[in-house]
Chains A and B, each alone.
Chain A
Amino acid sequence: MASKWFVAKRILLLVPVLTGVATLVFAILHISPGDPARVMAGQRATAEQIELIRQETGLNDPIWIQYGRFLADTAQLSFGDSYVLKPNQPVASILKNSIPITIELAVYGQLMGITLGLPLGVLSAIKQDSITDHITRIGALTGISVPIFWSGPVVIILFSVMLGIFPTNGRIAQGFFLSDTWLFFGNELPVTGLITIDTLLLGRYDAFASAVRHLFLPASVIGIYSMALISRMMRSSMLEVIRQDYIRTARAKGQGEKITMLKHGLKNAFIPVITVIGIQFGTLLGGAVLTETVFGIQGMGMILVEAIEVGDYPVVQGAVLVFALLFTLVNLGVDITYSYLDPRIQQ
């Protein structure tokens, strides 16, 4: 077991991954036609004002100097100040509050997808070509055909507007204050920034209930989509395992069919699926962009979209880097889990 080296190597690899992403972002923003100085100065600025900004921000320096400075700044996690969205506010502080929002959304969505998708996939595979199988497959196909920006509005219309069971948008009902200050919940969270965890840590069960009710619809929309993907994957992986010889042998030895499936099949079928779940996390982040827009949640996705729209480059850079970091960390976690499930991988 070379477990420590395995983990250390993967953590070290974060450096080139993030340098690569940072370089890509830098290149993309400098190839693109927009002039950051003009964006910063605003529509009515004169040529002199723009020139002044170019000099102040170093946009007149040779490009490689700018690149070097950009890498050095990024390494210290300083992404500069926002141009447009919240002028002169550091990007890090803008992103700080929105990162946990997106993480929370993605994690609960993915959890829903996994807890529903895995059993459905297994069921579908065990009862291949039965009614259950057909319904699951058609359901999964429908799930990946329905875009999040339609299923989102539909559940809002149904459950919020018509039935009034869940709130339409936001993270928590107005009027919940942190116990010893006048700060609203949702604007500043004291511990982790994850609202479902912080409310519990503070013992505010009423606020917790409200937060869960707010989170339910958006997380479900992501969850349904991810469930569809996972159940399809799990079904095919499970079928592949069932057809392998050792399952037949085990069955021939006279063990009960269901026990055989569970004992031998599940673990082996799950191994490839878990790695794909890690890669699918990227799709989920893409889904978070749309979900946040539909539900009016001020997460990373919404900030990224707004920043691209107005050409706020530092915010775009910061948001993309954080997305990349999240994606890499999730895959790192998956990789480590995977290496425990299948020790051959560490050779």
Chain B
Amino acid sequence: MERAARPGSASELWAWIRDRLRLVGSAALVGGVLAALGVVGSLLLTQYGLAVVSTQLFSLAALCFGFGLLGWSGSVLAGTGVEHAQRYLDTDTDWTEDDSRRAMARIGGFGFGGMLGVICVASLLGV
């Protein structure tokens, strides 16, 4: 399935890339904005300094990024195994590798955006 989706011509390649960029990019945008707001918000609302705030938020975003990355590659790597395991775990599941990869790309993109957001805002505010 995956190989069939592989691009043949240049325009197809562009469409293939654009699809994935849109998926990850939109999530990253949300993550970046949220992280930037988070940094400013916690600086205003709590007594913690920039170092603590940026460390905590960056770690949180990295948690999402790592989770998404691991989930994405794990889905591809152990896809068949998981599908079988799900069948023996309980009654109704419709786990598919494809769905899982998309969801993980979103989560990972969100986290990556968040990491970038923290870097940008924290550098602007001066560390």
Contact = CB atoms under 8 A, between A and B. Distances in A.
Interface in B108-124: 115, 118-119, 122-123
A276 B60 contact: no
A21 B81 contact: no
B103 to A, nearest CB: 14
Interface in A314-346: 328, 331-332, 334-335, 338, 345
A63 interface: yes
B58 A279 contact: no
Interface in A166-220: none
Interface residues of B, number: 37
Interface stretch (A26-34, A82-90, A107-115, A245-253): A26-34
Interface in B86-127: 87-88, 115, 118-119, 122-123, 127
A258 B121 CA distance: 70
Contacts of B80: 275, 335, 338, 345
A284 to B, nearest CB: 14
B54 A20 contact: no
A147 interface: no
B76 A13 contact: yes
Contact of A275 (B69, B71, B85): B85
A78 B80 CA distance: 33
Interface string B65-85: 111111111101110111011
A231 interface: no
A130 interface: no
Interface string A1-41: 01000000110010011011111111110110000000000
Contact of B69 (A16, A26, A67, A338): A16
B115 A334 contact: no
B36 interface: no
B62 A67 contact: yes
Nearest to A62: B127
A19 B123 CA distance: 25
Contacts of A19: 66, 69
B73 A23 contact: no
Contact of B119 (A26, A64, A331): A64
Given A19-B69, A21-B70, A67-B62, A332 B88 contact: no
A291 interface: no
A30 B55 contact: yes
Contacts of A119: none
Contacts of A63: 54-55, 58-59, 118
Contacts of B26: none
A28 B80 CA distance: 29
Nearest to B73: A16
B34 interface: no
Contact of A24 (B70, B72, B82, B84): B70
Contact of B81 (A20, A30, A331): A331
Nearest to A64: B119
B40 interface: no
A12 to B, nearest CB: 9
Contacts of B68: 20
Given A275-B85, A276-B88, A334-B81, A20 B60 contact: no
Interface of B: 1, 3, 51, 54-56, 58-60, 62-63, 65-74, 76-78, 80-82, 84-85, 87-88, 115, 118-119, 122-123, 127
9 contacts: A13-B77, A17-B73, A20-B66, A23-B65, A23-B69, A23-B70, A62-B51, A64-B58, A64-B118
